[in-house]
Amino acid sequence: MNDAASHPVINEISLKLDSLTPKARTLGTYIIKNPSKVVFMTTKELAEACGVSEATVVRFVSTIGYSRYSDFQEALKDFLNTGLSLPERLDIKGRENPELDRLHRGIIEELVNLQHLYEHINVDTMTQFVDHLESADCIYFTGSRISYTFAYYFGWSLTKVRRGIHILKGSDSTTMDMLNNAPENNLVVLAATTRYPNELIRLSKMIRRAGHTLLALTDSSISPVIQFADLSLVVPSKSIPFIGNVSGMLTVIQCMVQELANRKGADLKNYQEQLEQMYLENDILFNLNPK
Q: What is the pLDDT of residues 123-140, one digit of tens each?
A: 999 999 999 999 999 999
For CATH 3.40.50.10490, list the domain ranges present in the chain.
123-281
- Under CATH, which number does the domain 123-281 receive? 3.40.50.10490
Contacts of 116 (CB under 8 A, 6+ apart): 236, 237, 238, 248
Q: Give the integer Cα–Cα distance in Å for 162 and 274.
A: 11
pTM of the model: 0.79
The whole-number pLDDT of residue 188 equals: 98
Q: Give the integer Cα–Cα distance in Å for 259 and 261.
A: 5
Q: How many residues does the chain have?
A: 291
The secondary structure of residue 20, as a DSSP letter, is: S
The count of other CB atoms within 10 Å of the CB of residue 95 is 6
Contact call for residues 216 and 223 (beta carbons, < 8 A) = yes
Q: Where are the beta strands (DSSP E) in the chain?
A: 139-143, 165-169, 187-192, 213-218, 231-234
Residue 112 zone, left/alpha/beta (φ > 0; ψ -120 to 50; rest): alpha
- The CATH number of domain 4-83 is 1.10.10.10: yes
Q: For residue 260, which amino acid is it? A: L
Residue ranges, the chain, pLDDT below 50? 1-5
The whole-number pLDDT of residue 5 equals: 47
The whole-number pLDDT of residue 2 equals: 47
For CATH 1.10.10.10, list the domain ranges present in the chain.
4-83
Q: For residue 116, which amino acid is it? A: H
The whole-number pLDDT of residue 225 equals: 96
Q: Give the integer Cα–Cα distance in Å for 2 and 224.
A: 15
The whole-number pLDDT of residue 266 equals: 87
Q: Give the integer Cα–Cα distance in Å for 97 and 18.
A: 42
